[in-house]
Structure formats: structure tokens, C-alpha cells
Amino acid sequence: METFTGISVVIPVYNEDDNVLELYKKIKSIMSAQNKAYEIIFIDDGSTDNTFQDLSAIHENDDRVKILRFRNNFGKAAALSKGFEYAKGNIVITMDGDLQDDPEEIPNFLDKINEGYDLVSGWKYDRKDPITKTIPSKIFNILTRKITGVHIHDFNCGFKAYRSDVTKSIRIYGELHRYIPVIAFWKGYRVGEIKVKHHARRHGKSKYGSRRLLKGFLDLITIKFLSGFSARPLHFFGTFGFLFFVSGFIICLYLTIMHVLFIFEGVPEWEIRMRPLLLMGTLLIISGIQLISVGLIGEMIYSLSKDDNTSMIIEVLE
């Protein structure tokens, strides 16, 4: 993908027909004052309202606006991943399409990037959301900081700035967009944070329900696993498999020795098949073999895997 010395603003949207035109105007006003080349990439994540029609009208009047239209609602991580792939700027800004993120903060992100950071994450310091969202979010952020060792305040904030090296080197899927700073940090990039203004939603409704909390914690387990074992799954599964196998082998060896000794001592009523430990030992051996096999399969999948999700896009306006 050809790059240019400028800024790519990447915005996933889903059913935001009341917001996209106003958001575009605000971004255009801010970016025009930067005296830098720029592009705005909207990813329509399977909207069922007039979002795509509104974006198409914007595109017709401004060739700096690009549109990727998904055939279905694949989620924010997929939208960001495709936006990163198509972005040409050496600096990439991501933000939400609901007008809660303020485009006036973009120059502040650029200033922070110029301090030497590779990724700058926004911190919605004075968040304008109901308590049902803010309290779980605070708990989630505290837990994520403790587990990952990445000390930023707001992992859920979609308002971020990246050097293009970061966006081209990370792979996100599922719900892992929350952990982009973590992935970047573990890859050795310098991660920073700034406070950003946050506005209450004026149009439409939030697309994220209570289920995202559970998904977030499950993905936290995923990201912790991937950080240490994504390229070597056999090390993870093989370790437990080896321990299970050896434990089961020792138990079965002990029972075999005892069985032989009791037979030689003339105690025929002591039969190995009557020992409950036999079942445990056998189960541990089988489990160990299965875990090692899973690790080997994981190694094969990793070595052969290729990311090909181009089929989700049905239309591109450049």
C-alpha cells in the first residue's frame, strides 16, 4: 500500500446516519488547519440505516473521503483492521463515529506523537456516559493494568493516534481492539496517553450492551495468552501435557509394582483393576497426550495460517 506524509483518520461506523455528516465537517475543519495531506476513511460496518448513502454523498464532493462498506456487521476490530490496511498516511488517527470524540483533540494527539511516541491513547477523563457504563469500565481498566503491566487509564477509548508502523504490524480480531495499546507495548512500541474531551451522545444509541463486559474479560485472558505463547503454543499446552503425563505414568507404575509385589507375596485379592488410582493415572496419561497433541496442532496452524478476510467488503469508494 502506497503511503504519504500525512494523516489518515479511520472511523468505524454502524447506523450513524444522524452523525456522519456533522462529524465529517468537524474533521475537515480541523484537518484543513493542519497544513498536511490527509484522508478520511469511513468503514461502514454493515449499517442498516442511511449511513452509507450519507457517506456516498460526502465522497462525491470530497475525494479525500474513502469508504469501505462491509456486507455485514463484523464488529469494531474487523473494521479497524481493514481501515489500517487501507490507510496511506504515516500517522493514523482512529475515533468513533458517534460525535462523542471531539476532533479538536487531533492536534494534541499529533503533538504527543511528535514527542517520540508510537501510539497515543485517549483518556476520557470526564466521561459523559451513564454510571452503568463508567463503573464497569473503571473496574475493567484497573484489572487490565494489573494483568498486562500497561499503565494507561482508558483501554476502551477508541480515540487514538498511531504511527503507521504500528498499524501495519499488529493483527486484531474479535474484540481485541480494546487491547491495541497492550499489543503494541508488547511488540516494543512506545505507548503514551493524553486526556481528551468527551461529549454525551446526542443522536442514536450506543451499540455496546452489557455483554461486552464479559467479552472484555474473556479477551483479557486471550491477550495474556497470546502475549506469551501465540508463536509457541506447544510451550503452553506441552508443559501441562507433560506434567499430566508424567504424573499419570508415576501413578500407574506405582500400581503395577504394588500389584506384582502382592502377587509374589500371595495376596491374590489385591487386584490392580480395583484401585481407584488406576482410573486417575490413566486419565492423566490420556489428558497429557491430548494436551501435547493440541500444542502440536497449534504449532502447525500457526506456521500455515494466513489472514484473508477480503470477502467481508462489498464496496470500496476511493
**Quick one: 242 and 226 in the same domain?**
no
Burial class of residue 48, CB neighbours in 10 A (0-12, 13-18, 19+): exposed
**Quick one: 83 and 147 in the same domain?**
yes
Percent of the chain at pLDDT > 70 equals 86
Residue 246: per-residue pLDDT: 94
State how far the alpha carbon of 43 is from the alpha carbons of 11, 83, 188, in Å.
6, 7, 28
Predicted confidence (pLDDT) at residue 174 exceeds the cutoff of 80:
no
Among 230, 248, 269, give the residue marking a domain's end. Answer: 230
**Quick one: 187 and 261 in the same domain?**
no
Counted domains in the chain: 2
Is there a domain that residue 306 lies in?
Answer: no
State how far the alpha carbon of 277 is from the alpha carbons of 130, 272, 273, 290, 317, in Å.
55, 9, 9, 20, 66
Q: Which amino acid is at 219?
A: D
**Quick one: 131 and 186 in the same domain?**
yes
Contacts of 149 by beta carbon, 8 Å cutoff, 6+ apart: 185
**Quick one: 51 and 108 in the same domain?**
yes
Predicted confidence (pLDDT) at residue 310 exceeds the cutoff of 60:
no
Determine the average pLDDT of the residues in 288-303: 79
Residue 2: per-residue pLDDT: 65
Confidence band, pLDDT 50/70/90 cuts, at residue 24: very high
Contacts of 213 by beta carbon, 8 Å cutoff, 6+ apart: 136, 140
Is there a domain that residue 297 lies in?
Answer: yes
Residue 42: per-residue pLDDT: 97
**Quick one: 293 and 179 in the same domain?**
no
Residue 227: per-residue pLDDT: 66
Residue 147: per-residue pLDDT: 82
Q: What's the domain range around 251?
A: 233-301
Place of cell 494523516: 7
Is there a domain that residue 311 lies in?
Answer: no
Among 177, 212, 230, give the residue marking a domain's end. Answer: 230
178 and 219 Cβ atoms separated by less than 8 Å: yes
Task: State the chain's mean pLDDT as an integer.
Answer: 85
Closest CA to 248 of 290, 292, 288, 285: 285
Residue 297: per-residue pLDDT: 81
**Quick one: 272 and 168 in the same domain?**
no
Is there a domain that residue 314 lies in?
Answer: no
Determine the average pLDDT of the residues in 102-123: 95
Is there a domain that residue 39 lies in?
Answer: yes
Question: CATH code at 149?
Answer: 3.90.550.10
**Quick one: 58 and 174 in the same domain?**
yes
Residue 1: per-residue pLDDT: 59
**Quick one: 218 and 109 in the same domain?**
yes
Predicted confidence (pLDDT) at residue 208 exceeds the cutoff of 60:
no
For helices 106-113 and 20-32, give the axis angle rounded to 10 degrees: 50
Q: What pLDDT, in 10s, does the model give residues 225-255?
A: 766 666 677 777 888 889 999 999 999 998 8
Most confident option among 128-142, 148-162, 172-186: 148-162
Determine the average pLDDT of the residues in 29-48: 93
Among 187, 208, 230, give the residue marking a domain's end. Answer: 230
Is there a domain that residue 190 lies in?
Answer: yes
**Quick one: 222 and 237 in the same domain?**
no
DSSP symbol at 141:
H
Place of cell 501441562: 240
**Quick one: 296 and 184 in the same domain?**
no
Is there a domain that residue 315 lies in?
Answer: no
Is there a domain that residue 313 lies in?
Answer: no
Residue 299: per-residue pLDDT: 65
Residue 121: per-residue pLDDT: 96
Phi, then psi, of 119 in degrees rounded to 5 = -140, 130
Q: What pLDDT, in 10s, does the model give residues 190-201?
A: 999 999 998 887
**Quick one: 183 and 258 in the same domain?**
no
Tell me the three cell numbers of residue 172: 486484531
